[in-house]
Amino acid sequence: LAKTTQPISMDSYEGQEVNITCSHNNIATNDYITWYQQFPSQGPRFIIQGYKTKVTNEVASLFIPADRKSSTLSLPRVSLSDTAVYYCLVVPNTGGFKTIFGAGTRLFVKA
Amino acid sequence: DTGVSQDPRHKITKRGQNVTFRCDPISEHNRLYWYRQTLGQGPEFLTYFQNEAQLEKSRLLSDRFSAERPKGSFSTLEIQRTEQGDSAMYLCASSPEGDKPYEQYFGPGTRLTVT
């Protein structure tokens, strides 16, 4: 399983765009990049997943360069409610496996 | 879709006692996962079931821990002879086998405090 590295914490202000970068140098060919969000006292929530290039949904965008050794989660115009921990995972697209969460990135959005 | 539910939400027990937690996954999901999470850390994988078969088990799951999913629906996680180090949030998640198998849906967790 590929190991991921992401910043421990980030601060932002309401209305700004936030980009969280994750490195995964040992990503395998059949691995996908997946991001989860976790609020205090709740279980993680799936945000977005991608394989290469760019993926966008109603919550975020995910940018993946051609070598796939890193990825960037982009949160547009954050609000106070986006304060949470964000986890980057590298997983096989078939599911059903040992899933490794790192410590995540603690995003704090200020007014 | 009622989501993943876990029971109890909170459990306080004395060291040496046994505890059992229950997880009810989303009904059409055949994959079920258990995690443990301590303060400031990400969830740590404990075990994974596909239907009733336990296919993956972390070394974190010592002999005092056992998980079952007897009919491929709900699952239980039992901790015997609890220790203070077992205090943590225990999370359950489920995922489908078909469309979007990578997307795990988490329950609210059971917070265990061992005194």
- Structure confidence at residue B25 (pLDDT): 96
Cβ–Cβ of A104/B42 closer than 8 Å? yes
| Confidence at A95, pLDDT banded by 50, 70, 90 | low
Digit-coded pLDDT (tens) for A3-45:
899 999 999 999 999 999 999 998 988 888 999 999 988 999 9
Confidence label for B36 from pLDDT (cuts 50, 70 and 90): very high
Partners of residue B108 in chain A, C-beta under 8 Å:
41-43
How far away is chain B from the Cα of A89, in angstroms, using its nearest Cα?
10
CA–CA separation, A31 and A90 (whole Å): 6
Averaged pLDDT for residues A84-111 = 87
Task: For B55-83, write each residue's pLDDT tens digit.
Answer: 888 887 888 999 999 988 999 999 999 99
Question: Is A43 in contact with B4 (Cβ distance < 8 A)?
Answer: yes
pLDDT confidence of B54, banded at 50, 70, 90?
A: very high
Do A52 and A68 touch, CB atoms closer than 8 A?
yes
